[in-house]
Structure formats: C-alpha cells, structure tokens
Amino acid sequence: MIQVGYRGRIYPVNPKHSMISGLKCYESISSLPEVPQLAIIVIPSGGVKQVLSQCIKAGVKASVVFTAEIRYESGSEGEAAILAEASNNGMRICGPNCEGAIYLKTGTWATFLSHPSPLRGEIAFITQSGGVGEFVMHKSWERQLGISGWVSSGNEMDFQVADYIEYFARDRETKAISVFLEAARDGQKFIRAARLAFNEQKPLVVLKVGKSERAKAAALTHTGAIAGKYGVYMGLFRQLGIVRARNLQELVELPMALAWEPLPAGKRVGVLTDSGGIAVLCADLIAQEGLVIQDFEDETKERLTKILGPNAKVVNPLDITALAGPKEIVDILESVGESMLGDKTCDIFVFVVSYWPQHVYSEALEALGRLSKTARSISKPILPVFTAITPKTHSDLLARAAELKLPIYLSPEPAVASARALFDYSEARRQGLDNL
C-alpha cells in the first residue's frame, strides 16, 4: 500500500513487533489510536474468528480475510455465528480464502500480491479464483491495460460476486466489468446485479467455468460453490445481455473493446491486412463467430483501385502484401482505411499488420489513432492487430495504444472474438432486456 501511494493511515497490528516497514506496530485492535475503516486479516486459521469479533466490537465496518480456512471452537455455529455478529454490527466481509481487493482511485491495495502496480484505467476484474486473479493482474500489466478495480472474492462468506458487480456498475471510474465465475451463490442477486450493469451501460463479460461434471466437483472442492447447470447459465447470460468469454485471454481482452470502442450497427466485418494467409484466417474466424464478410460497394472499389493501382485485387478481406514497402505502408494503411470506413457494407473493421520495423509500428499506431477518431464518430469500431510485437519488447507501443484507447491485439483470434462481443452487446442494447 505504501508503494502504490495509499494516502490514508495504515496501522500494522502484531504483538510480536514494534515497527513494520517503518510504521509503528500495535499490539491489538483495541490499542489503535482510531477505529480503522478496513481490517486486513492475515493470521493462521485458529485465530480468525476471535480477531473478527475483536474488530466487530471495535467498530470496524469492513474486513478482508486472506486465511484459507476458519477454525471454529467445538459447539459453535461457525460461519453463521460470525455472519450474524458482523451483520448485527454493520460489518461486511471479503473472503475468506481470497486474495483481497484493489481500488486504484484511492490507492487501496488490500491484497498480498507482490506485483508491479497496475495502471489506473476503466476495466474492473472480479474473480472467485485467486490464481485467475493473479493471471488477470499480470496480463493487464503486461498489456499496459489500465484497471479501475480488482477483486478476488474467495469463499464468499458474506460479499458475493454479485455485490462487486453492483459496486462497479455504479462506479464512475469503470466502463466495463469482467468476471471469472464458478457459481453464483444467490441467483436472484446475480440477476439483479447483471440488470443493474446493463441499465448503467457497463458491459459485463463473464467466463463461466464448471461445464463438465469433473469441473463441477472441482469447483465445490475449491470454494464450496455448487457450479449449477452450464446450459442454464448460458441461457441466463443471453437474457441479461452478458457477453460470454470462452477462455482467460478473452476474459482480459474482450472488455478492452467494450470499454473503448463504439457499438456497431451490424455484424458485417471489413478486413485489411498485409498477409494473404492472415486474410484467409480472418475470413474463417469471422464465419466461425457468426459474423459476415461482404463485397465492398462499387464506389469503395473505385477509391481503393485509385490508391492501390489497377493490378490490385480489391476484395474483402483486402490484402496489400506486395503493394508497398515499409516507407509507403503507413500512408497506404491510412488512406485505404479511410476509404473502407465509408463503405456501407462494413460495420466493424479488423486491421492486421505484421512484420515491420519498430518505427513503422509507431507511425502505424498514430495513423490508426487518427482513423479511430473518424470511426467513432460514425459508430464503427476498429480492432487493430499487430502480430509481430510482444509485450516485453513493445511495452511503449502498448502504453501508447492505451493512451489512444485503441484495443491492440497480438493475434487475429481475440480481435475477431471482440468483434463478436461488440455485435452481441450491441444487439442486446437494441432489443433491451425485456425482449431478449
């Protein structure tokens, strides 16, 4: 919390120490100079119940419990007793068996993760799995993708995924919400939270696991959650306008497009690439996602022929592989892109660039930023793909893309999946929840 710039007061509590990280350490909650707003409980399982009770009696209103299990003395009512005591005194609990929460607006780092500080942004991540939470954190930092908040909900003694969805749906910092879900403990509560997110125009992306019988058993072992019937969840997602993520990559990358790009009017995709093989691959991916590719209008073909020359094959997907070298490619990319944006047969655009020198990537990114301004004014999303860059060697490029709010992808698959996500959410908004 010190490293990420938390501006509030921090009170270490540990009877074995007098100082921790340069801060005065206190023997107990009752010895603190004031009642803290949040207690982060990091102790062995045998003492958690007692410490929670001490916090409740002291007037603490929120707690995060990292401890995986809580041991109860013989004859107690266990979890129900703690919850009753907490509820009667206005305390809410995150966990146990969780990795905590991060909220960058206030610099709150209520997690034990030792990780490079994430960038402040507009996407909130909620996960019932600590390991998935770490993956999301790492990938968002690697991709220079800013987050508004991050929560690992754990065993959900009190707060559930639905509570966090509701919070981020009302949060002004958040533009999209991404959730890793093993099970919704309270179905009606989850439905209300999803409806709120939809009404607040906060796209909700969910990766639901637990499809197989073995996975359901693993979920019950992991967090005590009963995974439920996968098909019921999928039907529910369609009715609530929830965008489905199918893997961890989509969990991180779909919300980029939903947070930054306009919603398309339809599902027709225009593709521009400098690789014939990738053009074919994109055509296959687009068909697999239920999207379509149509021929350009005659006027567009005429404009493109003037730019590319009479020998160019002006078709969609458009491959400009042999038509220019690195010196000319950025100018061609921008002029061709402008012509394609005006085509009435295209609602969404995927622009793929591959092996270029470093300086050309930077110039291409700025050109895409200019194209994006035009595209957003006519509600046509642009999904750029740079296939030859890596987060390790091009972090500055990804950081600039984040500044421009351009969802740069590193392969065509997540870009086309994001096109599908934009169309699905756009259709849901057009129909409204009552008609889905």
**What is the CATH number for 229?**
3.40.50.261
pLDDT of res. 396: 92
Average pLDDT over residues 273-287: 95
Rounded to an integer, the average pLDDT of 386-410 is 92
Please count the structural domains in the chain.
3
- The pLDDT of residue 229 is 83
The domain boundary, picked from 76, 94, 112, lies at 94
% of the chain at pLDDT higher than 70: 92
pLDDT of residue 75: 45
Phi, psi of 103 (to 5 degrees): -140, 110
Among 70-74, 111-115, 176-180, 429-433, the minimum mean pLDDT is found in: 70-74
DSSP state of 24: E
Same domain, 243 and 121: yes
Does the global pTM surpass 0.85?
Answer: yes
CB atoms within 10 A of CB 14: 13
Range of the domain at 216: 100-260
Tell me the mean pLDDT in the region 173-198. 96
- Quote the mean pLDDT of the chain: 91
Q: What is the pLDDT of residue 76?
A: 47
pLDDT at 240 over 90: yes
Buried b / exposed e along 246-271 (16+ C-beta atoms within 10 A): eeebbbbbbbbbbbbbbbbeebbbbb
Assess whether 107 and 81 both reside in one domain.
no
**C-alpha span between 259 and 40 (Å, rounded):** 31
- For position 74, what pLDDT does the model report? 47
Give SS3 for 272.
Answer: strand
List pLDDT tens digits, range 115-169: 666 789 999 999 999 999 999 999 999 889 999 999 999 999 999 999 999 999 9
Percent of the chain whose predicted confidence (pLDDT) is above 90: 75
Bond preceding residue 96 cis, omega within 30 of 0: yes
Summarize pLDDT for 261-273 with one digit per residue, the tens: 999 999 999 999 9
pLDDT tens track for 35-82: 999 999 999 988 998 999 999 999 999 999 999 877 655 444 567 788
SS3 160: coil
Domain co-membership, 283 together with 431: yes
Q: Which of 239, 260, 281 is the last residue of a domain?
A: 260
55 closest CA partner among 89, 25, 79? 89
**Is 221 found in the same domain as 370?**
no
Which of 186-190, 216-220, 424-428 has the lowest average pLDDT? 216-220
**Residue 174 zone, left/alpha/beta (φ > 0; ψ -120 to 50; rest):** beta
Range with lowest mean pLDDT among 66-75, 201-210, 219-228, 311-320:
219-228
Contact 225, 181 (CB under 8 A): no
Residue 277 has pLDDT above 50, yes or no: yes
Confirm if 128 and 160 have CB atoms less than 8 A apart. Answer: no
Assess if residue 45 is contained within a domain.
Answer: yes
Give the model's confidence band at 356: pLDDT under 50 very low, under 70 low, under 90 confident, else very high: confident
* b/e 315-325 (16+ beta carbons within 10 angstroms → b): ebbbbbeebbe
127 and 252 together in one domain? yes
Last residue of some domain: 233, 260, 287?
260
Binned at pLDDT 50, 70 and 90, residue 94 comes out as: very high
**Residue type at 253 in one-letter notation:** E
235 and 155, same structural domain?
yes
- Same domain flag for 426 and 311: yes
pLDDT grade for 210, boundaries at 50, 70 and 90? confident
CA distances from 182 to 102, 161, 225, 405, 417 (A): 21, 10, 7, 31, 22
